[in-house]
Protein backbone atom coordinates (compact mmCIF):
# COMPACT_ATOMS: atom_id res chain seq x y z
CA UNK A 1 0.00 0.00 0.00
CA UNK A 2 1.32 3.48 -0.87
CA UNK A 3 2.09 6.07 1.76
CA UNK A 4 -0.92 8.08 0.58
CA UNK A 5 -3.16 5.04 0.96
CA UNK A 6 -1.88 4.36 4.47
CA UNK A 7 -2.48 8.01 5.38
CA UNK A 8 -6.06 7.91 4.10
CA UNK A 9 -6.70 4.65 5.98
CA UNK A 10 -5.29 6.13 9.19
CA UNK A 11 -7.52 9.20 8.84
CA UNK A 12 -10.59 7.00 8.29
CA UNK A 13 -9.78 4.85 11.32
CA UNK A 14 -9.32 7.93 13.51
CA UNK A 15 -12.53 9.49 12.21
CA UNK A 16 -14.38 6.24 12.88
CA UNK A 17 -13.03 6.18 16.43
CA UNK A 18 -14.18 9.74 17.01
CA UNK A 19 -17.65 8.91 15.70
CA UNK A 20 -17.90 5.96 18.07
CA UNK A 21 -16.66 8.03 20.98
CA UNK A 22 -19.13 10.78 20.13
CA UNK A 23 -22.10 8.43 20.36
CA UNK A 24 -24.23 9.36 23.37
CA UNK A 25 -24.36 7.00 26.31
CA UNK A 26 -28.09 6.42 26.82
CA UNK A 27 -28.90 5.77 30.49
CA UNK A 28 -32.33 4.83 31.80
CA UNK A 29 -33.46 5.96 35.24
CA UNK A 30 -36.65 6.37 37.27
CA UNK A 31 -36.29 9.98 38.39
CA UNK A 32 -38.67 9.75 41.34
CA UNK A 33 -36.17 8.49 43.91
CA UNK A 34 -34.37 11.37 45.65
CA UNK A 35 -31.62 11.96 46.54
CA UNK A 36 -30.39 9.33 44.08
CA UNK A 37 -32.30 10.40 40.97
CA UNK A 38 -35.03 13.00 40.60
CA UNK A 39 -36.04 16.02 38.53
CA UNK A 40 -35.51 19.71 39.23
CA UNK A 41 -37.68 21.37 36.62
CA UNK A 42 -36.65 19.70 33.38
CA UNK A 43 -33.18 18.73 34.63
CA UNK A 44 -32.09 15.35 35.99
CA UNK A 45 -30.28 15.57 39.30
CA UNK A 46 -29.15 13.40 42.21
CA UNK A 47 -26.23 11.20 43.23
CA UNK A 48 -26.75 8.64 40.46
CA UNK A 49 -27.11 11.40 37.88
CA UNK A 50 -23.90 13.18 38.90
CA UNK A 51 -21.98 9.91 39.03
CA UNK A 52 -23.41 8.72 35.71
CA UNK A 53 -22.46 12.01 34.06
CA UNK A 54 -18.92 11.74 35.43
CA UNK A 55 -18.59 8.13 34.22
CA UNK A 56 -19.84 9.02 30.73
CA UNK A 57 -17.41 11.93 30.43
CA UNK A 58 -14.57 9.71 31.67
CA UNK A 59 -15.46 7.30 28.85
CA UNK A 60 -15.46 10.13 26.32
CA UNK A 61 -19.22 9.85 25.80
CA UNK A 62 -22.08 12.31 26.20
CA UNK A 63 -24.65 11.14 28.76
CA UNK A 64 -28.26 11.05 27.58
CA UNK A 65 -30.74 10.33 30.37
CA UNK A 66 -34.14 8.77 29.72
CA UNK A 67 -36.81 8.87 32.43
CA UNK A 68 -38.73 5.60 32.69
CA UNK A 69 -41.01 4.09 35.32
CA UNK A 70 -39.25 1.49 37.44
CA UNK A 71 -41.80 -1.17 36.49
CA UNK A 72 -40.76 -0.97 32.83
CA UNK A 73 -37.12 0.08 33.02
CA UNK A 74 -35.54 -3.39 32.76
CA UNK A 75 -37.81 -4.36 29.86
CA UNK A 76 -36.67 -1.19 28.08
CA UNK A 77 -33.04 -2.11 28.70
CA UNK A 78 -33.54 -5.64 27.34
CA UNK A 79 -35.20 -4.28 24.18
CA UNK A 80 -32.28 -1.94 23.49
CA UNK A 81 -33.85 1.39 24.42
CA UNK A 82 -30.91 2.19 26.76
CA UNK A 83 -27.24 1.32 26.94
CA UNK A 84 -27.32 1.26 30.74
CA UNK A 85 -29.71 1.48 33.66
CA UNK A 86 -28.60 3.53 36.65
CA UNK A 87 -31.51 3.83 39.02
CA UNK A 88 -30.57 2.72 42.56
CA UNK A 89 -30.65 -0.81 41.17
CA UNK A 90 -29.65 -3.39 43.76
CA UNK A 91 -27.37 -6.20 42.59
CA UNK A 92 -29.12 -9.51 43.30
CA UNK A 93 -28.46 -13.09 42.21
CA UNK A 94 -31.78 -13.15 40.37
CA UNK A 95 -31.00 -10.00 38.39
CA UNK A 96 -27.45 -11.18 37.63
CA UNK A 97 -28.89 -14.15 35.76
CA UNK A 98 -30.33 -11.83 33.08
CA UNK A 99 -28.22 -8.65 33.37
CA UNK A 100 -24.56 -7.64 33.42
CA UNK A 101 -23.69 -5.47 36.43
CA UNK A 102 -20.86 -3.07 37.10
CA UNK A 103 -18.84 -3.09 40.28
CA UNK A 104 -20.93 -1.73 43.20
CA UNK A 105 -20.86 2.05 43.49
CA UNK A 106 -22.96 2.54 46.63
CA UNK A 107 -23.92 0.47 49.66
CA UNK A 108 -27.39 1.13 51.03
CA UNK A 109 -29.95 -0.73 53.08
CA UNK A 110 -33.65 -1.04 53.71
CA UNK A 111 -35.07 1.01 56.58
CA UNK A 112 -38.49 1.58 58.11
CA UNK A 113 -40.58 4.70 58.66
CA UNK A 114 -43.63 4.87 60.91
CA UNK A 115 -45.88 7.54 62.40
CA UNK A 116 -44.63 9.51 65.38
CA UNK A 117 -47.78 8.63 67.31
CA UNK A 118 -46.56 5.00 67.48
CA UNK A 119 -43.65 5.27 69.94
CA UNK A 120 -43.79 1.56 70.76
CA UNK A 121 -42.95 0.61 67.17
CA UNK A 122 -39.18 0.20 67.36
CA UNK A 123 -38.40 -2.20 64.53
CA UNK A 124 -39.61 -4.89 62.16
CA UNK A 125 -40.29 -7.32 65.03
CA UNK A 126 -43.09 -5.01 66.19
CA UNK A 127 -44.88 -5.26 62.82
CA UNK A 128 -46.37 -8.75 63.12
CA UNK A 129 -49.81 -8.68 61.53
CA UNK A 130 -49.20 -5.13 60.27
CA UNK A 131 -49.21 -3.73 56.71
CA UNK A 132 -46.00 -2.29 55.26
CA UNK A 133 -45.88 -0.18 52.10
CA UNK A 134 -43.09 -0.57 49.54
CA UNK A 135 -42.32 0.64 46.02
CA UNK A 136 -43.09 -1.84 43.26
CA UNK A 137 -40.26 -4.09 42.01
CA UNK A 138 -37.80 -3.06 44.75
CA UNK A 139 -35.74 -5.34 47.00
CA UNK A 140 -37.95 -4.41 49.96
CA UNK A 141 -40.26 -7.07 48.54
CA UNK A 142 -37.57 -9.72 49.05
CA UNK A 143 -37.19 -8.67 52.69
CA UNK A 144 -40.91 -8.94 53.38
CA UNK A 145 -41.24 -12.27 51.57
CA UNK A 146 -39.22 -13.74 54.41
CA UNK A 147 -41.75 -12.34 56.89
CA UNK A 148 -45.10 -14.00 56.11
CA UNK A 149 -46.49 -12.50 59.32
CA UNK A 150 -46.30 -9.02 57.72
CA UNK A 151 -48.69 -7.90 54.98
CA UNK A 152 -47.22 -6.07 51.99
CA UNK A 153 -48.76 -3.28 49.90
CA UNK A 154 -46.99 -2.08 46.72
CA UNK A 155 -47.04 1.47 45.30
CA UNK A 156 -45.81 2.99 42.04
CA UNK A 157 -43.66 5.50 43.92
CA UNK A 158 -42.46 5.78 47.49
CA UNK A 159 -44.11 9.15 48.14
CA UNK A 160 -47.53 7.51 47.68
CA UNK A 161 -46.63 4.89 50.28
CA UNK A 162 -45.53 7.60 52.71
CA UNK A 163 -48.73 9.54 52.10
CA UNK A 164 -50.78 6.42 52.81
CA UNK A 165 -48.77 5.92 56.00
CA UNK A 166 -49.35 9.51 57.05
CA UNK A 167 -53.09 9.05 56.46
CA UNK A 168 -53.11 5.99 58.72
CA UNK A 169 -53.94 3.41 56.04
CA UNK A 170 -50.78 1.34 56.59
CA UNK A 171 -48.47 0.80 59.55
CA UNK A 172 -45.00 1.43 58.10
CA UNK A 173 -43.03 2.05 54.90
CA UNK A 174 -39.86 0.23 53.88
CA UNK A 175 -37.37 1.63 51.37
CA UNK A 176 -33.72 2.69 51.06
CA UNK A 177 -32.44 4.72 54.01
CA UNK A 178 -31.18 7.77 52.04
CA UNK A 179 -34.54 8.07 50.29
CA UNK A 180 -36.44 7.95 53.59
CA UNK A 181 -34.15 10.57 55.10
CA UNK A 182 -34.62 12.88 52.12
CA UNK A 183 -38.41 12.56 52.04
CA UNK A 184 -38.88 12.94 55.79
CA UNK A 185 -36.68 16.04 55.90
CA UNK A 186 -38.73 17.82 53.25
CA UNK A 187 -42.24 16.73 54.16
CA UNK A 188 -44.15 14.15 56.20
CA UNK A 189 -43.53 15.84 59.55
CA UNK A 190 -45.74 13.27 61.26
CA UNK A 191 -43.41 10.39 60.32
CA UNK A 192 -40.11 9.16 61.77
CA UNK A 193 -37.40 6.60 61.09
CA UNK A 194 -37.46 3.55 63.32
CA UNK A 195 -35.22 0.58 63.96
CA UNK A 196 -31.89 -0.26 62.36
CA UNK A 197 -30.91 -1.11 58.81
CA UNK A 198 -32.63 -4.33 57.79
CA UNK A 199 -30.31 -5.19 54.90
CA UNK A 200 -27.04 -4.23 53.31
CA UNK A 201 -27.50 -3.76 49.58
CA UNK A 202 -25.10 -2.77 46.84
CA UNK A 203 -26.16 -0.65 43.89
CA UNK A 204 -24.77 -1.40 40.44
CA UNK A 205 -25.07 -0.11 36.88
CA UNK A 206 -26.85 -2.64 34.65
CA UNK A 207 -26.50 -3.51 30.97
CA UNK A 208 -27.68 -6.38 28.82
CA UNK A 209 -25.77 -9.63 29.15
CA UNK A 210 -24.22 -9.16 25.70
CA UNK A 211 -22.70 -5.77 26.67
CA UNK A 212 -19.88 -7.07 28.87
CA UNK A 213 -17.36 -4.84 27.06
CA UNK A 214 -19.42 -1.76 27.93
CA UNK A 215 -19.57 -2.77 31.60
CA UNK A 216 -15.78 -3.21 31.57
CA UNK A 217 -15.46 0.38 30.30
CA UNK A 218 -17.81 1.58 33.04
CA UNK A 219 -15.79 -0.21 35.72
CA UNK A 220 -12.53 1.27 34.43
CA UNK A 221 -14.00 4.78 34.35
CA UNK A 222 -15.46 4.39 37.84
CA UNK A 223 -12.13 3.15 39.21
CA UNK A 224 -10.38 6.25 37.86
CA UNK A 225 -13.04 8.49 39.42
CA UNK A 226 -12.66 6.74 42.78
CA UNK A 227 -8.87 7.12 42.63
CA UNK A 228 -9.25 10.88 42.12
CA UNK A 229 -11.74 11.17 45.00
CA UNK A 230 -14.69 12.18 42.77
CA UNK A 231 -17.01 9.46 44.09
CA UNK A 232 -16.23 10.42 47.69
CA UNK A 233 -17.02 14.08 46.92
CA UNK A 234 -20.37 13.16 45.37
CA UNK A 235 -21.19 10.97 48.36
CA UNK A 236 -20.52 13.88 50.72
CA UNK A 237 -22.60 16.20 48.54
CA UNK A 238 -25.71 14.03 48.49
CA UNK A 239 -25.57 12.00 51.70
CA UNK A 240 -23.86 14.37 54.14
CA UNK A 241 -25.48 14.18 57.56
CA UNK A 242 -25.13 17.93 58.15
CA UNK A 243 -27.56 18.86 55.42
CA UNK A 244 -30.04 21.52 56.48
CA UNK A 245 -33.32 21.99 54.68
CA UNK A 246 -35.23 25.23 54.33
CA UNK A 247 -38.80 24.41 53.31
CA UNK A 248 -39.91 26.24 50.17
CA UNK A 249 -42.88 28.57 50.44
CA UNK A 250 -46.18 27.54 48.88
CA UNK A 251 -45.78 30.31 46.31
CA UNK A 252 -42.34 29.06 45.30
CA UNK A 253 -43.63 25.50 45.05
CA UNK A 254 -46.53 26.57 42.83
CA UNK A 255 -44.06 28.44 40.64
CA UNK A 256 -42.30 25.12 40.03
CA UNK A 257 -45.29 22.78 39.92
CA UNK A 258 -47.79 24.63 37.72
CA UNK A 259 -45.50 25.29 34.71
CA UNK A 260 -44.22 21.71 34.85
CA UNK A 261 -47.75 20.30 34.89
CA UNK A 262 -48.81 22.65 32.09
CA UNK A 263 -46.02 21.36 29.83
CA UNK A 264 -46.95 17.76 30.64
CA UNK A 265 -50.65 18.49 30.05
CA UNK A 266 -49.76 19.68 26.55
CA UNK A 267 -48.21 16.26 25.84
CA UNK A 268 -51.39 14.60 27.14
CA UNK A 269 -53.58 16.77 24.90
CA UNK A 270 -51.41 16.23 21.83
CA UNK A 271 -51.43 12.46 22.23
CA UNK A 272 -55.19 12.37 22.85
CA UNK A 273 -56.05 14.67 19.94
CA UNK A 274 -53.83 12.94 17.38
CA UNK A 275 -54.94 9.45 18.44
CA UNK A 276 -58.60 10.41 18.18
CA UNK A 277 -58.21 12.18 14.83
CA UNK A 278 -56.44 9.15 13.37
CA UNK A 279 -58.71 6.65 15.11
CA UNK A 280 -62.01 8.14 13.88
CA UNK A 281 -61.64 7.34 10.14
CA UNK A 282 -60.10 3.95 10.90
CA UNK A 283 -62.93 3.17 13.31
CA UNK A 284 -65.58 4.24 10.79
CA UNK A 285 -64.01 2.01 8.13
CA UNK A 286 -63.93 -0.95 10.53
CA UNK A 287 -67.58 -0.31 11.47
CA UNK A 288 -68.65 -0.34 7.81
CA UNK A 289 -66.70 -3.55 7.29
CA UNK A 290 -68.39 -5.16 10.32
CA UNK A 291 -71.91 -4.53 9.00
CA UNK A 292 -71.06 -5.93 5.58
CA UNK A 293 -72.89 -9.10 4.57
CA UNK A 294 -69.74 -10.42 2.91
CA UNK A 295 -67.98 -12.52 5.53
CA UNK A 296 -64.55 -12.08 3.97
CA UNK A 297 -64.98 -8.37 4.73
CA UNK A 298 -66.73 -8.57 8.11
CA UNK A 299 -64.64 -11.32 9.75
CA UNK A 300 -61.29 -9.44 9.66
CA UNK A 301 -63.08 -6.42 11.16
CA UNK A 302 -64.56 -8.59 13.92
CA UNK A 303 -61.11 -10.01 14.71
CA UNK A 304 -59.58 -6.51 14.73
CA UNK A 305 -62.12 -5.22 17.25
CA UNK A 306 -62.06 -8.30 19.48
CA UNK A 307 -58.27 -8.40 19.75
CA UNK A 308 -57.85 -4.69 20.49
CA UNK A 309 -60.78 -4.47 22.89
CA UNK A 310 -59.97 -7.79 24.53
CA UNK A 311 -56.37 -6.95 25.49
CA UNK A 312 -55.35 -4.17 27.89
CA UNK A 313 -53.94 -1.00 26.37
CA UNK A 314 -50.91 -1.39 28.65
CA UNK A 315 -50.12 -4.77 27.06
CA UNK A 316 -50.47 -3.25 23.59
CA UNK A 317 -48.02 -0.49 24.53
CA UNK A 318 -45.53 -3.05 25.83
CA UNK A 319 -45.87 -5.15 22.68
CA UNK A 320 -45.34 -2.23 20.30
CA UNK A 321 -42.49 -0.54 22.17
CA UNK A 322 -40.64 -3.44 23.78
CA UNK A 323 -41.48 -6.57 21.76
CA UNK A 324 -41.41 -5.27 18.17
CA UNK A 325 -37.67 -4.41 18.39
CA UNK A 326 -36.95 -8.15 18.66
CA UNK A 327 -38.52 -8.44 15.19
CA UNK A 328 -36.33 -5.62 13.89
CA UNK A 329 -39.00 -2.91 14.15
CA UNK A 330 -37.75 -0.02 16.28
CA UNK A 331 -40.23 2.72 17.18
CA UNK A 332 -39.54 5.80 19.25
CA UNK A 333 -41.66 6.81 22.22
CA UNK A 334 -44.03 9.10 20.34
CA UNK A 335 -44.64 6.83 17.32
CA UNK A 336 -45.16 3.81 19.59
CA UNK A 337 -47.58 5.65 21.88
CA UNK A 338 -49.47 7.17 18.95
CA UNK A 339 -49.77 3.82 17.18
CA UNK A 340 -51.00 2.01 20.30
CA UNK A 341 -53.55 4.67 21.22
CA UNK A 342 -54.78 5.06 17.64
CA UNK A 343 -55.34 1.33 17.18
CA UNK A 344 -57.00 0.95 20.58
CA UNK A 345 -59.20 3.98 20.06
CA UNK A 346 -60.24 2.90 16.56
CA UNK A 347 -61.60 -0.41 17.91
CA UNK A 348 -63.87 1.37 20.39
CA UNK A 349 -64.84 4.01 17.83
CA UNK A 350 -65.77 1.22 15.40
CA UNK A 351 -68.24 -0.26 17.87
CA UNK A 352 -69.68 3.17 18.63
CA UNK A 353 -70.27 3.88 14.92
CA UNK A 354 -71.66 0.38 14.32
CA UNK A 355 -74.16 0.80 17.16
CA UNK A 356 -75.18 4.21 15.83
CA UNK A 357 -75.73 2.90 12.31
CA UNK A 358 -77.71 -0.16 13.42
CA UNK A 359 -79.89 1.98 15.72
CA UNK A 360 -81.49 3.64 12.68
CA UNK A 361 -84.65 2.21 11.16
CA UNK A 362 -83.73 -0.16 8.33
CA UNK A 363 -86.54 1.38 6.33
CA UNK A 364 -84.42 4.49 5.74
CA UNK A 365 -81.86 2.51 3.76
CA UNK A 366 -84.62 0.75 1.84
CA UNK A 367 -86.30 4.08 1.02
CA UNK A 368 -83.02 5.59 -0.17
CA UNK A 369 -82.32 2.57 -2.38
CA UNK A 370 -85.85 2.75 -3.84
CA UNK A 371 -85.10 6.34 -4.89
CA UNK A 372 -82.23 5.07 -7.01
CA UNK A 373 -79.36 5.71 -4.62
CA UNK A 374 -76.49 3.26 -4.52
CA UNK A 375 -75.62 1.61 -1.20
CA UNK A 376 -72.60 3.87 -0.78
CA UNK A 377 -74.54 7.04 -1.60
CA UNK A 378 -77.36 6.10 0.77
CA UNK A 379 -74.88 5.39 3.55
CA UNK A 380 -73.04 8.67 2.96
CA UNK A 381 -76.03 10.99 2.49
CA UNK A 382 -78.77 9.41 4.61
CA UNK A 383 -77.46 6.98 7.22
CA UNK A 384 -74.13 8.39 8.41
CA UNK A 385 -75.30 11.99 9.05
CA UNK A 386 -78.00 10.69 11.39
CA UNK A 387 -75.66 8.16 12.99
CA UNK A 388 -73.12 10.89 13.78
CA UNK A 389 -75.78 12.76 15.78
CA UNK A 390 -76.47 9.67 17.83
CA UNK A 391 -72.87 8.66 18.49
CA UNK A 392 -71.60 12.07 19.60
CA UNK A 393 -72.12 11.46 23.37
CA UNK A 394 -70.33 8.07 23.39
CA UNK A 395 -67.57 9.51 21.19
CA UNK A 396 -67.10 12.27 23.75
CA UNK A 397 -66.85 9.66 26.50
CA UNK A 398 -64.27 7.79 24.43
CA UNK A 399 -62.21 10.98 24.05
CA UNK A 400 -62.32 11.56 27.81
CA UNK A 401 -61.35 7.94 28.54
CA UNK A 402 -58.53 8.19 26.01
CA UNK A 403 -57.25 11.37 27.64
CA UNK A 404 -57.12 9.71 31.06
CA UNK A 405 -55.52 6.55 29.64
CA UNK A 406 -52.53 8.57 28.43
CA UNK A 407 -51.10 8.08 31.93
CA UNK A 408 -50.09 4.58 30.77
CA UNK A 409 -47.35 5.94 28.49
CA UNK A 410 -45.07 6.38 31.49
CA UNK A 411 -44.16 2.69 31.04
CA UNK A 412 -42.41 3.61 27.78
CA UNK A 413 -40.59 6.55 29.38
CA UNK A 414 -42.90 9.32 28.14
CA UNK A 415 -43.62 12.13 30.56
CA UNK A 416 -47.28 13.16 30.47
CA UNK A 417 -49.42 14.71 33.19
CA UNK A 418 -49.59 11.81 35.67
CA UNK A 419 -45.91 10.92 35.27
CA UNK A 420 -44.96 14.57 35.79
CA UNK A 421 -46.99 14.50 39.00
CA UNK A 422 -45.01 11.47 40.18
CA UNK A 423 -41.72 13.21 39.40
CA UNK A 424 -42.73 16.37 41.24
CA UNK A 425 -43.89 14.51 44.34
CA UNK A 426 -40.64 12.56 44.28
CA UNK A 427 -38.41 15.63 44.08
CA UNK A 428 -40.45 18.10 46.16
CA UNK A 429 -42.12 15.66 48.59
CA UNK A 430 -45.41 17.59 48.58
CA UNK A 431 -48.00 15.09 47.29
CA UNK A 432 -50.88 16.93 48.97
CA UNK A 433 -50.12 19.93 46.78
CA UNK A 434 -49.19 18.15 43.55
CA UNK A 435 -52.03 15.65 43.13
CA UNK A 436 -54.95 18.08 43.57
CA UNK A 437 -53.32 20.23 40.88
CA UNK A 438 -52.96 17.20 38.61
CA UNK A 439 -56.67 16.52 39.10
CA UNK A 440 -57.49 20.16 38.34
CA UNK A 441 -55.54 19.97 35.07
CA UNK A 442 -57.42 16.83 34.02
CA UNK A 443 -60.73 18.47 34.88
CA UNK A 444 -59.78 21.57 32.89
CA UNK A 445 -59.09 19.37 29.87
CA UNK A 446 -62.20 17.17 30.06
CA UNK A 447 -64.83 19.82 30.83
CA UNK A 448 -64.51 21.59 27.44
CA UNK A 449 -65.08 18.25 25.69
CA UNK A 450 -68.34 17.60 27.50
CA UNK A 451 -69.49 21.20 27.00
CA UNK A 452 -68.69 21.05 23.26
CA UNK A 453 -70.59 17.81 22.82
CA UNK A 454 -73.62 19.20 24.66
CA UNK A 455 -73.58 22.38 22.55
CA UNK A 456 -73.42 20.42 19.28
CA UNK A 457 -76.26 18.15 20.38
CA UNK A 458 -78.47 21.14 21.19
CA UNK A 459 -77.64 22.79 17.88
CA UNK A 460 -78.44 19.72 15.82
CA UNK A 461 -81.64 18.97 17.74
CA UNK A 462 -83.03 22.40 16.84
CA UNK A 463 -82.51 21.83 13.11
Domain spans in the chain, listed from the N-terminal domain onward:
3-105+203-239, 110-199, 250-461
97-144 pLDDT per residue, tens = 999 999 999 988 899 999 999 988 988 889 999 999 998 878 888 889
CATH architecture of 3-105+203-239: 3-Layer(aba) Sandwich (3.40)
CATH of domain 110-199: 3.40.190.10
Please give the full DSSP string across 288-345, using - where no structure is assigned. Answer: HHHT-S-HHHHHHHHHHHHHHHHS-HHHHHHIIIIIGGGGT----HHHHHHHHHHHHH
* Torsional sign, CA 203, 207, 212, 216: negative
410-423 pLDDT per residue, tens = 888 788 888 888 88
323-382 pLDDT per residue, tens = 888 788 888 889 999 999 999 999 999 999 998 888 887 777 778 778 878 877 888 888
Same fold: 3-105+203-239 with 110-199: yes
Q: Which fold has domain 250-461?
A: MetI-like fold (1.10.3720)
**CA 34, chain centre distance (Å):** 17
pTM of the model: 0.72
- Look at residue 21 in the predicted model and tell me its pLDDT: 47
Amino acid sequence: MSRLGRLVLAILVCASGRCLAAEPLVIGTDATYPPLEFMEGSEFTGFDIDLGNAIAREMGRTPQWVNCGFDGILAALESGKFDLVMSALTITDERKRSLAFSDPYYTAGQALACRKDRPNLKGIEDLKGATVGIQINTTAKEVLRERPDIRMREYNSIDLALLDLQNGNIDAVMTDLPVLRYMLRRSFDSLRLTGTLLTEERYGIAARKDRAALIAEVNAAMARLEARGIVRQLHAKWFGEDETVTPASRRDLLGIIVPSLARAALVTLQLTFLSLILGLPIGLLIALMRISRRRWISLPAVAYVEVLRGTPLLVQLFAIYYVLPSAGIQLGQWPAALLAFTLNSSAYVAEIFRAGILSLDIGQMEAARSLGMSYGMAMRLVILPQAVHRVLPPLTNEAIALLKDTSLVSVIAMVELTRQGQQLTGSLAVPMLVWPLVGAFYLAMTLPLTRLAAALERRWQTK
